[in-house]
Structure 1
Amino acid sequence: MLNQNQTRKTAISIAVATAIMSSAVMHPVMAQEQEPKEQSVEVVRVTGSYVTRDTQSTMSSPIQIVGNEEIMKSGFSGVDDLIVNNTANTGSVGGVNNLAGGGAEGRQTRSANLRGLGPSSTLVLLNGHRVASQEQDAKRNSYTNLAALVPTIAVNRIETVLDGASAIYGSDAIAGVMNVITDDNYEGVTAIWQHIAIENAPSNLLQFKIGGGSGNFHGMFASSYEYKANLQNGDRAITASNNTSGTAQPGNYALTSRPVAADGGDVIIDNGVNGPINYSQLYDQISASTGNSRVVFADPHCTVEGTGGIYVGSNPFPHGTCQFSYQQMNPIMPQSKTWLNYATASYTLDNSHELFFEGRYYKQEGRRFGVASMPISLGSPVVPAENPYNPFGVDVQFTGRVLGVNADYREETSNVDGTHLLLGIKGDIGSTDWQYEVSGVWSQERAVNSAPDTDLQMLQNALNGYGGADCLIDPFGQPSASEVPGQGNCVYFSPFGADQLNHDERVYYNLLQPSVGSDEVTYQIVEFVVNGSWFDLPGGTVGVAVGGQTRKEIRKVGVDGATQAGRWGFFGKRSPGEGDRKIDGIFAELYLPWTLDIDMQLALRYEDYGKFTNTDPKVGVNWRVTDDISLRLSASTAFRAPSLAHSVGNQTSSGVSQTVDPLDPNDNGTFRVVNTISNPNLAPEESTNVNIGASWAATDELTMSLDYWSFDFENQVTAESAAQVIQADPNGPNLIRDADGRLLAVNVGYFNAGKTKTNGVDFRVDYRTEIFDGHYISINNSLTWINEYTVQVGKDQPVYDVVGRRNDNNPGSVAPEFRDTMQVSWQHMKHNANLTMRYVDSVEDDVFLPMNYTQPWGTISSSTVFDAQYAYRFGEDDRYQIAVGAINLFDTDPPAAFFTKYLSTAADPLGRQAYMRLSIEM
């Protein structure tokens, strides 16, 4: 029996629809023809439907189709970068980094994020099949990494369905589906080399494909290797400014007793900048005025040039905070090396049956170059009075970071590999016009990440005089009884600014240790589809598709012993774990041509996750009003099951987030640990989607389409915002503070939040004409307008309309009101040239502010970027091509944003990316 929610959803009329933004893509040789050639009708399966139909039929769901030649026109090296041209996409994770985090900062990643409903709400398919991915955003929402899917040269086209598709594909298709379709029928050999000149960060891409066969066999293999150099914040003016954190080097020191000099007198220190300061008398004054024996001083040499310290405080030095700017030393993007390999093969058994195979293997290595050492956000190391470098003569608690280890930078490494194998059979059922397809998929992605962090046990040993490579330490981190502090093989470490460049190098041996973790996701899928015709209606034959799928999803998380023990100064305590879930689904779809002008698509899918079930219907109507005008309507429900990281397994996890402590007036933003734990009781996210559209072929040269879309998104799974938990109760039980009241960490959990509603309009214009003999001009323009984007954080909470906001303070994505992409192309025989304009509207800057703020920090201005390319074909049969161009032709800086300096989900600080591409076809 259906539950109440399922009954409500089943009663909703829904739909599939019409290709509103399909791009006419020509092969370069065909482009020389002055008149298009007649093409026969080809029977195909279009993304968003399992019923086969001819390509001249329209669909009731809006679909964007971008071919390989369009990708080449863009100058982008991969599918991941191409997503920025899609005006329906907003707030992708990855591409470039910023201090707000998001995505894997140690390697090259990019997510889709249609309609700004979250990266996990867009289902990415490879030839209609799911691929395993362990990638997650900062809130552990899973996403498929478009930068590591298949070689770009292997892509035939990308079909993107711009409304809910769970009735066809199941979970994750709330905002739509992006289906990357490979060129499996390719014959010949093609090789491409592309060099991209980015200031301080050049990249190179080499790729090739080979295809062919004989008799009953055909195969294709494609491979690519891409190298991208790292780019640091210090390499760009917009990111090279200070952005201070309260955890610094030189650091800050908490004293609980009066400082005393070696001769028993007062401690007086002259740093050469602030003059002689009597710390003993100052301690007495502050302790007496506050009634607290615990007094915090900034490092005595914080203000000395060359130490890196930035003094912040309303009190006279040193009764304030020594801070540090991590901004310049962190990366805009990491160094990455990506190998992508893809193979497909088919073998015809007879005239009716065919075996097919698909294989994908990739490997990606990333190197993140960051600040030399991370702040000690956890733990409270103590510099004992016996440490000869301690100028206070009493035990002091140290808050800061360890300088001097890998003094230029701190290197994190990331190694990811993925394997995707598919084997299937398809063919005709007897002598009927029905076909079947059965396939099995094994898909796995595994990441191993290593990042140095301060070993708190080793640091305390060094502060106590037991530092150095040859100082005997037992496996539990305790010094041998035979060792003497600061003598023989053992040395003292000083965290004080006066000594930061004058240490015995031996002391740095084991202060930083690698924190190693792994994440592995595996999909095991068996599915079948049967489709064919049923009976005739006035408009044609009814098409039918039925099918089913069983899928097992497995996640394994591994962490090293030190991480499990919580020995790191920056990374939080985590535990390993694993879990799995099994999903069974069935679906049915009908194509109903009621008349020659009106057809309908009906679809229904049921999925069983064990802990919950979900039923999603979809109905679409397409009406060809005249030969030139067609109308479409689609409505559906869609859902997304909680991510594996949210709901499956017994592991605990932690991350780091930039937060502000309202109890600390000098805290302008500090990295703190955020601890999260999975919630097995999460309900699925659900949405109701509606699309109403029209297409008009005004002339043979001019076509236009207009679509109104609406998404009503409920039960969003999200982690509690660390910033909101802090603001709600600065002394609450979910906050971890030390004895001095310093905020160390925040505990948050996952929950089903409130609602997100969004609606707006997509408008597309395509125009192509021959301006004079053999010279063709085409103009393509896509515009997306967001009319409404409302967010409700939780049940019974206020609803906020956040169109035109950065949305850093809520579960939503950045929501510029307008996005527009226009391309103007010229074509004449062997010559092609195009100019692309990308516009992103301005947004209010609300970072760190509550959702009900009355005044933003300011406005992040709109961004307009131009790309250009010229390509020329030459040689026998035009087999060679050279292309030159530039992404961000005019070297436009991204609009400035508070704290992060730029908004990575809307623009990037890479600057002009000039490129040259050489290709050969044989």
Structure 2
Amino acid sequence: MEKFSSRFKCGVSLLTAAILPLTSQPLQAAQDTVQNSIEDEIVLEEIMVTGSRIKRRSLDSPTPVAVIGAEDLAFSGKLNLGDYLSELPQLGSTFTTANSTRFIGTAGGSFLDLRRLGSVRTLVLVDGRRHVGSSAGDTRVDINTIPSDLIERVEVITGGASAIYGSDAVTGVVNFILKENYEGLTARAQYGLADEGPYDSYHLSLTGGGNFNDDRGNAVLSVEWAEESRVKNTDREFSSRRYRLVNNPDDTGPDDGIPDQFYRPNSGISFITKAGTIFFDLGSLMTFDPDGSVRDQVLGTDFGGFECMDCDFLDLDEVSDLRPSLQRLSLNGKFTYDLTEDISVFAEAKYVNTQTFNLGQPAFDFFGSAITIQRDNAFLKSDLAALMDDAGVTEIGINRFNVDAGRRGEDNERQTHRIVAGFKGDLGEAWTWEASYSFGRSTQILTAINNRINDRWTAATDAVVDPATGEIVCRVTLEDSDNSLLDGCIPTSIFGDGAVNAASEAWFNQDTIRRDTIEQQVASAFISGSVYELPAGDLDVAVGIEWRKDTSLSKPAPLDSAGLTFGNALQVTSGEIEVKEAFGEISVPVLKDAPFAESLMLDAAIRYADYDTSSDKNTTWKVGGTWQPISDVRFRATYSKAVRAPNIGELFGPQDANFFSVDDPCKTSELDLIADPARRSNREANCAALGVAPDFDSDYDQATLPGLSGGNPDLEVETAKTWTAGVVVTPRFLDGFSATVDWWQVTIDDAISSTDAQDILDRCVDAESINNIFCPLITRDSTDEITNILQIQANIAGLEASGVDFDITYNISGIANTDGMLSLKLMGTYLLYNRDFPFQDEPDNPDREDGELGDPEWLMNFTATYYSGPWTFNYKLRFIDDMLRVEHEDFEASPEEQELIHTGTVTYSDIQLRYQIRDGIEVYGGVNNIFEKNPPLPFDATGGDSGIYDNVGRFFYTGVTATF
């Protein structure tokens, strides 16, 4: 993990030292350069705007498009694009660097999530083309693979765009536009350091390019290195506070004005500890001192439910990371060449290597899986032996959080290769065309650190004295075992924190490796231009075809596949999806320079897809238009049908063994609990139709029944209807001002989801008949007992969200009669609702997300940038609205469920100052989170919802950019 680190840190220092001596007196040209760059951004050129293959200006698009320029990225001071983009109001903070360790193999990944409706429903493009995914089983793109210094702008279209780009663009598209025809050489170095704790970051990049052969060709190469250090919970005061939400002993009941629960410091759960916890029928918990002797466990203030304060408790903060370490090397090349005046060839190539490392919780054992210790254990102290004899037991169970047996973690290396090649050109003055092919491959080598082999752990802790030698050995060593996995067993004590010996730890732990490979091929061609000149303007069309093939293979370590390790029992997952598509788009000018209609345009698009999976054939479409009654105001609206085809993991994920704790709804004892006669009669009829005897009453109560969980090859596409309607205001009397306000709505049907096992059973027999999707998932034997439950992905859920986006920009020249310019920008979203329907056939039972943690009603970013001569000053304010810490349903039922039930509003302030020392040489520095806003108690911003907050703290950075 550290092999590149020292040389690139040294490189940052050398580059800075080499550039600074070049400085001299500020050039007058610096002011002109800044002024010209601002004016260039204000000019609205006709370009290929995301969401259409017909050229137009961004404000003329019928679909809302938010544009983030390269300058916006530079002002953020962030080295991770995903962390910056997740702060946009339209995007959720579902997967940032801070909260990327929640799932196996995702550490360090940044996946975008428009509208918080699922990152698999957001399509990421580079220069309007698909990019190979970074997550096995799906097509999500890790934003770390995008070259930050080559970005010209980022366009975010926040409406369904399947008719233009195909599957996955349900909630929208994020399109990274890279620089074209780059000339010159630019070097950039940046270093940042957090005010609290050891977090720092480095960036070093070099981008060079130029024209050749009489300007017919252009080539550019960009190399980037970035590094971010690992941050542990204990490195921050706010994440090592040991606060826990516990029952309030002063609570007297509902509506008493007293919170049912409150937060208390130095609190935790007492039923499991690092030293080990024993349950005796002696009325108390017991634990161990470091020397292995047993003592009563300190319970301090007991709040019930094994929660206590100032006690012997499990401290999870001690063994968690806030952020993984991340190192990224990126090489990107682009090439274009004019074969003739009308035909050009282009090519792109990239290689990205990303390495991440993090540690988390160790393996643990409690209750049903507690460590069993026999009376003859060789490490047993006499005091515990006497207690066992007094209790008349020959074995005890110990709950233990095995920190001294090695913390588990991930060492993850990802590599991305991608090539794009194609031709483009003009056909006369009115038509353009393009044909391209791309191939991408992402590989991931995931090393699971300290992955415990369970049988070895059990054998090592079952230590006895060898009667022949008097030495302590594993019991299995004295037995005639045919399990070769246990050969060489090394015994260990587990009595007390620090008792596990290193030799035994090395024997029962193993670093296991999972290997993932994702490949994508895309061949596409389209032509765009004007087919007819109408009185109001040109009738423009675009038509094209596309072929795409995605493959994915995930191979876990054999020990994991066999279910022999502490981690999940993972199986090989593989599959491929191939699709052939044809698409078309039309833009019709209806009126121009007419009364109350300076312009009226109608747009439509359609896409036909033929999949080789259960998705089969489907059609998506979009209609929209713009109406400009006067030059200052433009109204726009779209309505579309979008789709998402199931991905490889959802279709072909292996159906692995599982166990479910459920009640059989056909038991007479369960039927007797139903108060509604109609419901009972309906259930009895359905149980009879299933062949269950009317007097059946299983011997299993809350039984743990076997089953399978996994993918479903019969899944169909998700469908969505999306609306947008808004207005664009560019008043002539207020030069430099523009404002857009857009209402949007997304409704997703047949969303892919899995169902709880108990719900599968209940919904089978509570439906109108047994002819439903749930009954075939249940298998019974000849005695009517359930022998298998199949828990698979299905098209059963629904999602819907709606809100209002606004984007207001005002550029003011000649501030205070000077040559300065002030640029103001306010971007925000007001969330009207975000609802999840676990079962779409129950529209009256939504799970509200709006206003809950992670989904604030108001999200706003305000920036002010002042340009004066060689100086540039930027200020950014990020506003996060107050949110509920609990579910809406819980809050409505009990507004006093807990103290601090609301998060309160949070604002972050960032500043940056840039100075152009001379033409081409610029230095900058900034501070993010100036006022050191920590996440609200007790969050550490590592969750999928709490990730909306910052957990780096006040962050200083400085850098230098040199352009030659």
Structures share fold, TM-score greater than 0.5: yes
Structure 1 residue aligned with 2:254: none
Map of 1:868 onto structure 2: 911
1:234 partnered with 2:274: no
Q: How does 1:418-457 map to 2 (within 5 A)?
A: 418-429=416-427, 431=428, 433-451=430-448, 452-457=450-455
Q: Which whole-Å deviations, capped at 9, do the CAs of 1:591-631 have from their partners, x for residues lacking one?
A: 11122211121100111223122211111111121111111
User: Offset of 1:308 from its aligned partner?
Assistant: 14
Matches within 5 A, 1:473-872: 491-497=490-496, 500-502=497-499, 504-569=501-566, 571-596=567-592, 597-610=599-612, 611-612=614-615, 613-650=617-654, 652=656, 676-698=709-731, 699-720=734-755, 749-769=792-812, 770-771=814-815, 772-797=817-842, 798-800=844-846, 802=848, 804-806=850-852, 814-846=854-886, 854-855=894-895, 857=898, 858-872=901-915
Structure 1 Cα separation of the partners of residues 503 and 790 of structure 2: 37
Q: What secondary structure is seen at the aligned counterpart in 1 of 2:455?
A: helix
> 2 CA distance for matches of 1:208 and 1:554?
34
CA RMSD across the alignment: 4.0
* Mean Cα deviation higher: 620-629 or 747-756: 747-756
- Separation of aligned partners in 2, 1:774 and 1:549: 51
* 1:917 partner letter: G
CA contact (8 A) 1:845 1:898 kept: no
Select between 895-904 and 686-695 the one with higher mean Cα deviation. Answer: 895-904
Q: Which amino acid aligns with 1:625?
A: P
109-118 or 183-192: bigger deviation: 109-118
- TM-superposed CA distance for 1:446, in Å, is 1.6
Partner SS, residue 324 of structure 1: coil
Question: CA 1:478 to 1:547, structure 2 compared with 1: closer, same or farther past 3 Å?
Answer: farther
Question: Displacement of 1:557 after TM fit?
Answer: 1.0
Write the deviation string for residues 553-576 of structure 1: whole angstroms up to 9, x where unpaired. Answer: 11101011111121123x121211
Shift of 1:201: 0.7
| Contact kept? 1:151, 1:207, Cα under 8 Å | no
Question: In 2, distance between residues paired with 1:317 and 1:83?
Answer: 39
Q: Deviations over 1:296-342 (max 9, x none)?
A: 96545599999998757859999xx9852222321010111111221
What is the CA distance between 1:69 and its match in structure 2? 1.5
Structure 1 residue 715: deviation in Å? 1.9
Deviation at 1:803, TM superposition (A): 5.2
Q: Deviations over 1:100-123 (max 9, x none)?
A: x64567632222221221111111
Maintained 8 Å contact 2:848/2:888: no
Indicate if the aligned counterparts of 1:132 and 1:523 stay in contact, CA closer than 8 A: yes
2:275 aligned to which of 225, 237, 250:
250
**Matched position secondary structure for 1:461:** helix
The 1:815/1:306 distance shift into structure 2, 3 A limit, reads farther
Task: Return the alpha-carbon distance in structure 1 between the equivalents of residues 411 and 167 of structure 2.
Answer: 32
Question: Residue type of the partner of 1:869?
Answer: Q
Gaps of at least 5 residues in structure 2 are 1-28, 245-267, 389-393, 593-598, 660-705, 765-774, 779-788
Q: Are residues 1:879 and 2:920 paired?
A: yes
Note if 1:891 corresponds to 2:926: no
Mapped to 1, the partners of 2:434 and 2:849 lie a distance apart of: 44
Give the drift of 1:225: 0.9
Find the partner of 2:154 among 151, 158, 171: 158
Distance 1:723 1:300 in 2: 40
The whole-number CA distance in structure 2 between the counterparts of 1:217 and 1:307 is 79
Structure 1 residues 543, 502: CA separation in 2 closer, same or farther (over 3 Å shift)? closer
Q: Distance in 2 between matches of 1:652 and 1:61?
A: 43
Change (3 A) 1:84 1:575: closer
Cα displacement (A) at 1:515? 3.0
Distance 1:301 1:727, change over 3 A: farther
Q: Structure 1 residue 32: deviation in Å?
A: 3.1
Following TM superposition, by how much is the alpha carbon of 1:35 offset from its aligned partner in structure 2, in angstroms? Answer: 9.3
The 1:397–1:823 alpha-carbon spacing in structure 2 relative to 1, beyond 3 Å, is same
TM-score (norm 1): 0.79
Post-superposition CA distance 1:687-713 (Å, at most 9, x none): 111111111112113222211111112
Correspondence for 2:210 = 212
Task: Report the equivalent of 2:314.
Answer: 324
Supply the distance in 2 between the matched residues of 1:646 and 1:538 (Cα, whole angstroms).
51
* Aligned residues of 2:655 and 2:709 also touching (Cα < 8 A): no
Task: In structure 1, give the amino acid aligned to 2:740.
Answer: S
Corresponding residue SS for 1:509: helix
Taking the aligned partners of 1:369 and 1:420, their CA distance within structure 2 comes to: 31
Q: How far did 1:248 drift? A: 3.9
Q: Deviations over 1:74-124 (max 9, x none)?
A: 2222421221442111243122138xx645676322222212211111111
Q: Does 1:337 align with 2:327?
A: yes
Give % identity.
20
Give the whole-Å Cα distance in 1 for the aligned partners of 2:236 and 2:762.
Answer: 33
Output one character per residue of 1:346-390: Cα deviation in whole Å (capped at 9) or x when no partner: 122212221111112111111102345555799555323331223
- Supply the AA of the counterpart residue of 1:905: G
The CA distance in 2 between the partners of 1:725 and 1:399, in whole Å, is: 33
The whole-number CA distance in structure 1 between the counterparts of 2:906 and 2:41 is 42
The equivalent of 1:47 in structure 2 is 50
- Counterpart residue number, 1:187: 183
Q: Does 1:145 align with 2:142?
A: yes
1:202-226: per-residue Cα shift (whole Å, max 9, x none)? 1111112111121232111111111
In 1, Cα distance between the equivalents of 2:573 and 2:336? 39
1:93 alignment counterpart: 95
1:201 maps to a residue whose letter is: Y
More helix by share: 2
2 CA distance for matches of 1:317 and 1:337?
Answer: 40
Residue 457 (structure 2) pairs with residue 459 (structure 1): yes
Task: Determine if contact 1:573/1:654 at 8 Å carries over to the other structure.
Answer: no
Number of the residue aligned with 1:133:
133
The 2-side partners of 1:784 and 1:27 are apart by 36
Aligned AA (1:686)? T
Note the C-alpha offset of 1:755: 2.1
Cα distance in 1 for residues equivalent to 2:345 and 2:367: 57
CA distance in 2, matches of 1:482, 1:523: 48
Verify the 8 A CA contact 2:125 2:175 in the aligned structure 1: yes
* Secondary structure at the counterpart of residue 185 of structure 1: coil
The two structures have a TM-score, normalised by structure 2, of 0.76
How far has the Cα of 1:428 moved from its partner?
Answer: 3.2
1:794 is displaced (CA, Å) by 0.7
For 2:742, give the aligned amino acid.
D
1:549 and 1:135 map into 2 onto residues whose CA distance is 23
| Alignment partners' CA distance in 2, 1:804 and 1:898 | 19
CA contact (8 A) 1:711 1:757 kept: yes
Paired AA for residue 823 in structure 1: T
Q: For the Cα contact (< 8 Å) 1:467–1:490, is it kept in 2?
A: no
**1:796 and 1:66 mapped to 2: Cα distance?**
40
CA pair 64-56 structure 1, distance change in 2 beyond 3 A: closer
